[in-house]
Amino acid sequence: MSEKKKEKKKRLSKASLKQATRIFKYVKPYRWQFAFGIVLISLSGVFTLLVTRLWGQLGGVGVQQPEQDDIRSYFDFEFNFSDLGSLAVIIFAVLVIQAIMSFTRVILFARITENMMLALRKDTYQKIIRMPMQYFNEQRVGDLNSRISADITSIQDVFTTTLAELLRQLIVIVGGIAALLFFSPTLTFIMLSTLPVVIIIAVIFGRFIRKLSKKTQDQVAESNVVVQETLTGIVNVKSFANELLEVTRYMGNITEIKKFALKGAWWRASFSSFIILFIFGAISLVIFKGADLMAAGELDSEYFFSFLLMTGLVAGSIGGIAAQFAQLQRGIGAIENVMDILELDPEPVVIESPSFKQRALKGEIEFQRLQFHYDSRKEIQVINDLSFRASAGDHVAIVGPSGAGKSTIASLILQFYVPQAGKVQFDGVDASEYDLTELRSQMAFVPQEVILFGGSIKENIAYGNPEASDEEIHQAAAQANALQFIDQFPDGLDTIVGERGIQLSGGQRQRIAIARAVLKNPTILILDEATSSLDSESERLVQDALDKLMKGRTSVVIAHRLSTIRSADKIIVLDGGIKVEEGKHEELITIENGVYRGLVELQSQLVS
């Protein structure tokens, strides 16, 4: 998908502009403030022209004898436009007004934008976090991260500065040219005859530069993904001694960055040289011609000065507008990316009002002729015509060789995926009839590989119930046999676990995950037993904690150590997504050449 998307990002078409208008939903609440800001910025453009004109007047008065009759009155005040003192007062007044307007405008736009960004960041994150599991199978974390950070920052730039600057510069250009025509049509034509050439070439240049800077950006994003993936899987890198491989991979990326960046710099340098040559060339020509006209008495000195200053202003704005335009284009690309996310269909989890009415589950689970394959790998039928039932309070174990589909069953109970055929029912009601939050809030999942959040042990346990009191957290830790090791830490429950919990052992992490589940007090418990074996003492503690946790709840245990499931009410033996056997341990063990019996024999051989 990303290739297609990248293609789309590069072009600024009518369609993409239309797409970008979707952002107006976020501007709407502030439309009047925004309109006022636009008025201020327009006035600021007009005042810039006015000041330039007044400076020209100053220059003109400086070289000419004062003419006493050039007196104009404004609001009962009389100003002598040929008197340096009067001009200074007017210029000062205009500057003060402009300073106040500028201050107000910056604050106003910042407030509008920050409010918009708050809503946009919240909505984007909220949307991403509510996406179904399949979405996360297809996306890279680094990409999603840059949606929330880089793209939203680009959008912010557009609304804080780019739009305002574009408008101001347009006013300066249009108003400036009108004034120039008034001062001297001949000079204006000379200047204008060079400008279109500059503009056409600037557009062509600009397009090149944008393309290159986009490529650099993509390359930077890609190198970030490499860093992120490598650091996330640092254990892999080290254990396979693949440091060199990773550095080489990274080198490949960063060398490309350098290549593109230097190419970009070359074009940017050419671009600025070109602008300098043409703009300054045109100005030189204008000064020359202006001096000529003034010497011939065809141009007043005050107009000449105003003309020069205003030409500089207009030329500066024309030069600057290209950069603003590039920024706008980046912003529009970013808006498209973010809006695409906002238009995705999330899973129906309740996020706004946690106090929705919830039906209490009894805990019966039933799979009816369920068929499932992952969307990202359609050719593999992971679950094939699977039916089984767990009555409320039952302990069901799922066993089978690796890749049989055991973890997938856990995901299907948790409603991470929707099966292609068949049903999952809870208390005899189809899963789709429930709200996802309603179901999941009554289930707890202890995964194979426990990943903790970076905070303290206490915060990690409280994840099971954020409203739990310290006393409840303590009790949960005790029930999960976690206090033994927590109490040994000087900071106890406040011990920081390190990023993803790497400062704790596997068994310790598991017991924290169990404490979390205890605190959640679920009706249905799903355990994906850890494959990595713990030492026998930790294993006993973990198993004991799990036994206590399972008491009185429906539990589905994905078992790797068959010794732990002898007392299960039901064992489901899975092979290649098909249920091959079902029954209690005592029944299954008697089946000649049975899969379960084979697995048990294999494990006991391994143990003995």
User: Can residue 141 be called a binding residue for ligand ATP (CB under 6 A)?
Assistant: no
Distance, in Å, from the CA atom of 466 to the CA atom of 468, rounded to the nearest integer, reads 6
Q: How far apart are the C-alpha atoms of 374 and 447, rounded to whole Å?
A: 19
Residue 156, Cβ density class (10 Å: 0-12 exposed, 13-18 middle, ≥19 buried): buried
The mark string for 324-363 relative to ligand ATP (x by CB under 6 A, - otherwise) is ----------------------------------------
Cβ contacts of 505 within 8 Å, gap of 6 or more: 538
Closest distance to ligand ATP from the beta carbon of 396 (Å): 15
Q: Which is nearer to ligand ATP, 124 or 564 (CB)?
A: 564
Query: Three-state SS across 530-571?
Result: CCCCCCHHHHHHHHHHHHHHHCCCEEEEECCCHHHHCCCCEE
* By CB under 6 A, residue 382 contacts ligand ATP: yes
Query: Residue 376 interacts with ligand ATP (CB under 6 A)?
Result: yes
By CB under 6 A, name the one of 9, 53, 168, 406 that touches ligand ATP.
Answer: 406
Tell me if 137 contacts ligand ATP by CB under 6 A: yes
Closest distance between ligand ATP and the C-beta of residue 448, in Å?
A: 7
Quote the tokens at residue 176.
């400036």
Give least dist CB 375 to ligand ATP, A: 8
Numbers of helices and strands, H then E, in the chain: 23, 12
Q: Which stretch binds ligand ATP (CB under 6 A): 237-245, 312-320, 369-377, 495-503?
A: 369-377
The residue written with tokens 């327009």 in the block is 42
Q: In this complex, which beta carbon is closest to ligand ATP, that of residue 137 or of residue 432?
A: 137
Q: Which of residues 162-191 bind ligand ATP (CB under 6 A)?
A: none
Contacting ligand ATP (CB under 6 A), which of 79, 125, 208, 374?
Answer: 374
Residue 377 within binding range of ligand ATP, rule CB under 6 A? yes
Query: In angstroms, what is the minimal distance from the CB of 384 to ligand ATP?
Result: 11
Which one of residues 68, 73, 239, 402 is an interface residue with ligand ATP (CB under 6 A)? Answer: 402
Nearer to ligand ATP, 273 or 532 (CB): 532
- 180 contact partners, CB below 8 Å, separation of at least 6: 187, 188, 191, 307, 310, 311, 314
The H or E element that residue 524 is part of is strand 524-528
- Please state the closest distance from residue 382 (CB atom) to ligand ATP, in A: 4
Instruction: Please select the residue that binds ligand ATP; options are 206, 319, 405, 507, rule is CB under 6 A.
Output: 405
Question: Residue 512 corresponds to which tokens in the numbers above?
Answer: 């924290």
Q: Kindly state the greatest CA–CA separation across the chain.
A: 122
108: closest CA among 30, 166, 167, 21? 30
526 in Cβ contact with 395 (< 8 Å): no
407 binds ligand ATP (CB under 6 A): yes
Which one of 114-122, 143-151, 155-163, 375-383 is the stretch in contact with ligand ATP (CB under 6 A)?
375-383
59-67, 177-185, 342-350, 398-406 -> range binding ligand ATP (CB under 6 A): 398-406
Interacting stretch for ligand ATP, rule CB under 6 A, among 39-47, 83-91, 359-367, 406-414? 406-414
- Nearest-approach distance from CB 151 to ligand ATP, in angstroms: 26
The three-state (H, E, C) secondary structure of 265-328, written as one string: HHHHHHHHHHHHHHHHHHHHHHHHHHHHHHHCCCCCHHHHHHHHHHHHHHHHHHHHHHHHHHHH
Residue placing its CB nearer to ligand ATP in the complex, 17 or 380 = 380
Q: Which of 527, 554, 522 minimizes the C-alpha distance to 365? A: 554
Region near ligand ATP per CB under 6 A, out of 281-289, 303-311, 373-381, 544-552: 373-381
The interface region with ligand ATP, picked from 43-51, 157-165, 372-380, 477-485 by CB under 6 A, is: 372-380
Q: How far is the CB of 388 from ligand ATP (least distance, A)?
A: 15
List 154, 311, 408, 555, residue binding ligand ATP (CB under 6 A): 408
214 counts as binding ligand ATP under rule CB under 6 A: no
For residues 267 and 574, what is the distance between their CA atoms, to the nearest angstrom?
62
Crossing angle for the helix pair 163-183 and 185-232, to the nearest 10 degrees: 170
Judged by DSSP in three states, 355 sits in: coil
Nearer of residues 339 and 409 to ligand ATP, judged by Cβ: 409
Q: Is 446 in the site for ligand ATP (CB under 6 A)?
A: no
How open is the CA angle 60-51-202, to the nearest 5 degrees? 100
Comparison of 6 and 377: residue with beta carbon closer to ligand ATP = 377
Q: What are phi and psi of 46, to 5 degrees?
A: -65, -45
Q: Hey, is 74 helix, strand or coil?
A: strand
Q: How far is CA 124 from CA 325, 340, 341, 344, in A?
A: 26, 10, 7, 10
Least distance to ligand ATP, CB of residue 134, Å: 8
Number of residues that bind ligand ATP (CB under 6 A): 14
Q: Which of 177, 299, 334, 404 binds ligand ATP (CB under 6 A)?
A: 404
Distance CA 319, CA 333 (A): 23
Which residues of the chain form contacts with ligand ATP (CB under 6 A)?
A: 137, 374, 376-377, 380, 382, 400, 402-408
